[in-house]
Chains A and B, each alone.
Chain A
Amino acid sequence: MLIVTLRFNEKKNKSIMNLKKFVVLYLMVHLVSAGFSQVKQAEAQEPFPFSVYNLKNGLTIILSEDNSLPLVTVVCAYKVGSVYEKKGKTGIAHLLENLMFMGSRNVGPMQHIRFIHRIGGEFNAFTSWDRTLFYQTVSSNQLPLVLWLESDRMNSLNLNYSNVEETKNLLIEALKNQDKGDPFRESLLVFDQLLYPDFTYSHPIIGSEDDLKSITLKDVRDFYQTYYKPNNAVLCITGNIDEKNTLQLVRKYFSTIDPSKNVPRPPSYKGDFIQERQEQISINENISTPGFRLGYRIGSPHSNDFYILSIIDYLLFSGESSRLYKRLVKRNKLALNMSVGIERRRDLAALKVFVLSNNEATKEIAKKALLSEMNRLKSSLIPDRELVKIKNMYKSDYMGNFYSPEKRALFLTRYYLSGNDIRDLEGELNKYLRVTTSEIVGIMNRYFTENYVLVEIRGK
Chain B
Amino acid sequence: MKTHIQLRKAIFGVLFGLFILSFINPFLSAQEKFRKTPPLPYPLPDLDFPALESFMLSNGLQVSVVQRKPQPFVDIHLIILTGESLSPDDLPGLASFTANMLFKGATGISASQIEELIEYIGGDFSVTTYPDYSVFSITCLKDYLNDAIKLLGQLLTQADFPKIEVNNVKRDMFYNIVRNTNPELLGRKLLFQIMFNNHPYGKYVFNSSVIKRLNRKDLLTFFDKFYIPNNARLLIIGDVDLLEVTNITGRHLSQWEKKNVETYHINPPASNTKPKICFTDLPNGDETTIFIGYVLPKEKTEDYFSYLVFNQILGGSHISRLIMNLRETRGYAYWAFSEIELFENCNLFYVKAKVKTEYLYPSVTEILREIRSLTMNRVPNHEIEQAKSYLIGNFPIQISGHKEFSLKASEIVALDMEGIYWENYYENIMYVNSNTVFETFQDISFLNPVIVIVGDKDVVLDHTKEFDEVEIYDNEGIFQYKLKKGIENDSEL
Contacts and interface: CB of A to CB of B under 8 A. Distances in A.
Interface in B1-40: 27, 31-32, 34-40
B493 interface: no
Contact of A114 (B43, B46, B144, B319): B319
Contacts of B391: 120
A106 interface: yes
Contacts of A404: 400-402
A277 interface: no
A88 B140 CA distance: 50
Nearest to B318: A117
Contacts of A406: 400
A321 B112 contact: yes
A389 to B, nearest CB: 4
Interface in A360-407: 385, 388-389, 392-393, 395-396, 399-400, 403-407
- State the main secondary structure of chain A at its contact with B: helix
B380 interface: no
Interface residues of A, number: 55
B202 to A, nearest CB: 33
B390 A119 contact: yes
Nearest to A152: B35
A138 B112 contact: no
Nearest to B139: A396
Contacts of B32: 256
A115 B38 contact: yes
B396 A71 contact: yes
Interface stretch (B114-122, B184-192, B213-221): B114-122
Contact of B397 (A71, A141, A252, A396): A71
A137 B395 CA distance: 12
B119 A252 contact: no
Interface string A132-153: 0000011111111100110110
B243 interface: no
A396 B73 contact: yes
Contacts of A388: 120
Contact of A321 (B119, B317, B392): B119
B365 interface: no
B248 interface: no
B389 A69 contact: no
Nearest to B388: A120
Contacts of B71: 403
A70 interface: yes
B400 A69 contact: yes
A73 to B, nearest CB: 9
Given A121-B394, A256-B32, A319 B402 contact: no
A405 to B, nearest CB: 6
Nearest to B393: A120
A437 interface: no
A55 to B, nearest CB: 15
Contacts of B115: 319-321
A143 B68 CA distance: 25
B164 interface: no
Contacts of B31: 105-106, 156
Contacts of A450: none
A420 to B, nearest CB: 22
B72 interface: yes
A46 B394 CA distance: 28
Contacts of A105: 27, 31, 35
**Highest count of chain A CB atoms <10 Å: which of B45, B318, B392:** B45
**Highest count of chain B CB atoms <10 Å: which of A114, A142, A155, A385:** A142
B399 interface: yes
A392 B400 contact: no
A262 interface: no
A69 B47 contact: yes
B45 A392 contact: no
Contacts of A162: none
A28 B103 CA distance: 54
Nearest to A48: B70
B316 to A, nearest CB: 10
A233 to B, nearest CB: 18
A426 interface: no
Given A117-B318, A118-B319, A407 B401 contact: yes
Interface in A69-113: 69-71, 105-106, 113
B39 A148 contact: yes
Interface of A: 45-46, 68-71, 105-106, 113-115, 117-122, 137-145, 148-149, 151-152, 155-156, 240, 252-253, 256, 319-321, 326, 330, 385, 388-389, 392-393, 395-396, 399-400, 403-407
The 4 closest A-B pairs by CB, nearest first: A120-B393, A120-B394, A396-B122, A392-B122
18 contacts: A69-B400, A70-B396, A71-B400, A106-B31, A117-B317, A119-B389, A120-B392, A120-B397, A139-B41, A141-B44, A142-B42, A143-B42, A144-B39, A148-B34, A252-B34, A320-B115, A392-B121, A404-B401
